[in-house]
Amino acid sequence: MAEVKAIVLRAAGINCDLETEHALELAGASAERIHINRVIESPGVLDGFQIMVVPGGFSYGDDVAAGKILANQIKHHLYDAARKFIDSGKLVLGICNGFQVLVKAGLLPGRIDGEAMTEQSVTITYNDSGKFEDRWVYLEAVSSRCIFLEQGRRICLPIAHGEGKVVFKDEATRAKINSEGFAALRYVDKDGNAGTFPVNPNGSTDAIAGLTDATGRVLGLMPHPERFVRVTQHPHWTRIKDTCTADGIGIFENAVKYVRGNL
């Protein structure tokens, strides 16, 4: 495929769409920001893209719950179009608020063993600290499913959220998510070890920082890869510039590479 086209969904309160568009273009895609209302009016617009991204921010002010209003728009007006998008082999990425949206719309974790997992089975709720957490964290890619990530690789990305704790309805759901590779990213320390706060900045169950679906072509994560696409964006870049890589850009590059090789 000569040109990889990505759509970045916009809505009131979203504030990371420009950075996300920039990251996609750095990775080699042609990106376009389009308001969710335009897509609801003409769902066929999605046919012209191979990657759909729900970026971070505070969609509709998170007035009901984080990502809930945008999730309801997708669930009630675009769910079939989104499922068609995914089932046709295309990619979906949800970042921070976008991760919350994908989970609450029922697109993540999606179908497990052919059974759709509802938003009541998995959700994202308030940080254990009871406050907004804005810091850099280490992550490890733990799923062999997800095309956006390289399993076993440890990366560093910034977080900025008040509701990032992944929780499950019951132990059966938790066991399925972990045993079948739907947990895509976990919070770790710089040496790859698990830990309590601040290593796990929100108290997320099993230190889960991101989820994928059965196809591996849908990823939702709380950290912000679009905020680390250049080494100079790291707060310690002058000290680590010779050994540091901009870990965020790799997620977008993997997506573009997959599209070029498979669609």
pLDDT of residue 1: 62
Q: What is the pLDDT of residue 164?
A: 98
Q: What is the mean pLDDT of residues 118-128?
A: 85
Per-residue model confidence as pLDDT tens digits over 11-31: 999 999 999 999 999 999 999
pLDDT tens profile 216-233: 999 999 999 999 999 999
Whole-number pLDDT of residue 240: 87
pLDDT over threshold 70, residue 116: no
Place of tokens 């900025």: 160
Whether the pLDDT of residue 140 is over 80: the answer is yes
Q: What is the pLDDT of residues 151-195, one digit of tens each?
A: 999 999 999 999 999 999 999 999 999 999 999 999 999 999 999
Residues designated as active site: 96, 224, 226
Domains of the chain with CATH codes: 5-262 (3.40.50.880)
**44-83 pLDDT, tens digit each:** 999 999 999 999 999 999 999 999 999 999 999 999 999 9
Band (117; pLDDT cuts 50, 70, 90): low
Q: Which residue has the higher pLDDT, 7 or 263?
A: 7
* % residues pLDDT > 70 (the chain): 97
Q: What is the pLDDT of residue 250?
A: 97
